[in-house]
Structure 1
Amino acid sequence: MLQFFTTKFGGNNVLGILFFLLLGGLTTSWGQTPSTGDLIKVHNANQTEISSISNPEDGMLIYNEDTGQINFFSGSNWVAPSNESKTLVLNRASNGNNNLIVNSTNTYYDFPVNATHELSNTGGIYQTLGNGRIRVNQAGTYFMSAAFSVRDMPSGDTKYIIGLFINGALRGYLSRGFASLPNRDWWGTSGTIIYPLRANDEVRFRYVVNNNGSPLDAVFVNIGITQL
């Protein structure tokens, strides 16, 4: 099929022979398992070091040691190309006497879920730091949800709040109101919020339940975050 090659060595025929030899070498190389020396090594750094890089250019690559992913600079942020969803789900369920929902009047407490309660953590951008505390390693817009339920909410009007804190400051309410029950009963609340976050922002999900300091038994506690 390579009809443009001849045994003559004049003019463009030399170029044809050289191309044939090069093609043969590439075919041999492609048919073999690559060795370490054949691979490209990009620089590696942790998230703090990456964020401090001055004047990065579009398309630059670096290996993020904290997330275990290649990041590229998109013009404004270092991002990780991935077809995988970037979602975190924390869930804790119980029907026992657990006294998880501690409280005092008009006081915020952290959601009692942490890394041991992760059901899903995909995309390499979330780090669960402690109860209700999550660090986001990539800038973007995030859809966030939280919920909790108890089996022994008292009768009467009981104030409740689910609040979102970012870097220690209250930024929004996912849910807020009064539970009005004729008798002690099962009760729950949930809410969502969409908010832009920067790389290394810490989000904190906290609740208020005014039950005069008497702890309540949680049925479930849930946090979900998805990058949009």
Structure 2
Amino acid sequence: MKTLFAFLLISYTCFSQVGIGTNTPNSNSLLEISSTDKVFVPPRMTNAQMLAIPTPLIGSIVYNTTFNAIYIYNSLGWKNASDTDNSSLICKKNGGSLTTSINTYYNFPLNHHHVQTQNPLTYEILSSGKIRVKENGIYMIGAQLSVNNMPSGKKGYSLALFKNGVLLGLLNKNESEQTITDYWGTSGMMTFNLSVNDEIEIKYLINHNANLSLVFAAFSFVKIN
């Protein structure tokens, strides 16, 4: 009889609501916590510790002490609960010089010193113009540059993306034709499906044999899905 009673008690407990700080948890709640002077504290850990969790369940919650924010795990990975925009990376700079030569691609002269916006869970800047993506998804990638001393005459140019060392696509390809040395600029944008650990290089080509005076350079990544 004692065994039967214990079994019935365990069965009742497993299928009833649990209340902490209340004796009357809502019938629609599996767990209800009630307090006016105490708080709920999720596990606290560094970003490295969070990423080292082998198989987190969807819906898992931690407090990331590296970024001082609540993170929630979903089908796309760990996400900052306070983020309202799609994960993005923006780098830009004003001034400097732009190396050019005939039929030669150069990486954009932008690195971690030029970051305006970055989600480190999604992007890692490896070197100038070179980024590793850390999440599978669809990314919109854009680039822009301008100079103030493009020489007269025709100059072929292009903005290109390379993935893992192989040309992925051209953001822009055209010819500049100037009657005098003057300001010039170009930009482009495309959308690509990228995978974890893909290394993307943003490059430019300007068919000219001397350095140009850079006015502005920028590139951006936005994870849209």
- TM-score after normalising by structure 1: 0.71
Q: Shift of residue 84 of structure 1?
A: 2.7
Q: Counterpart in 2 of 1:41?
A: 43
| Separation in 2, partners of 1:134, 1:66 | 21
Q: Counterpart in 1 of 2:12?
A: none
Contact 1:87 1:123 in 2 (8 A): no
Q: 1:41-80: CA deviations, max 9, x gaps?
A: 3887749x769x5xx5862648689988735252xx4342
Q: Shift of residue 202 of structure 1?
A: 1.8
Structure 2: unaligned runs, 5 residues or longer: 1-18, 25-30
| Separation in 2, partners of 1:27, 1:183 | 74
Q: CA separation of 1:62/1:168 partners in 2, compared to 1, >3 Å: closer, same or farther? A: farther
Q: Counterpart in 2 of 1:23?
A: 23
1:109 aligns with 2:106: yes
- TM-score after normalising by structure 2: 0.72
Contact 2:42 2:61 in 1 (8 A): no
Compare CA radii of gyration and give the structure with the larger one: 1
Q: Counterpart in 1 of 2:200?
A: 203
Letter in 1 for 2:214: A
* Count of residues in correspondence between the two structures: 195
| Separation in 2, partners of 1:50, 1:126 | 17
1:151 aligns with 2:148: yes
Q: Counterpart in 1 of 2:92?
A: 91
Contact 1:141 1:197 in 2 (8 A): yes
Q: Counterpart in 1 of 2:133?
A: 136
Aligned-residue identity in percent: 28
SS of the aligned residue for 1:158 comes to strand
Indicate the structure with greater strand content.
Answer: 2
| Separation in 1, partners of 2:104, 2:143 | 18
| Separation in 2, partners of 1:28, 1:125 | 34
User: Which portions of structure 1, spanning 4 or more consecutive aligned residues, are displaced by more than 4 angstroms?
Assistant: 26-29, 42-47, 62-69
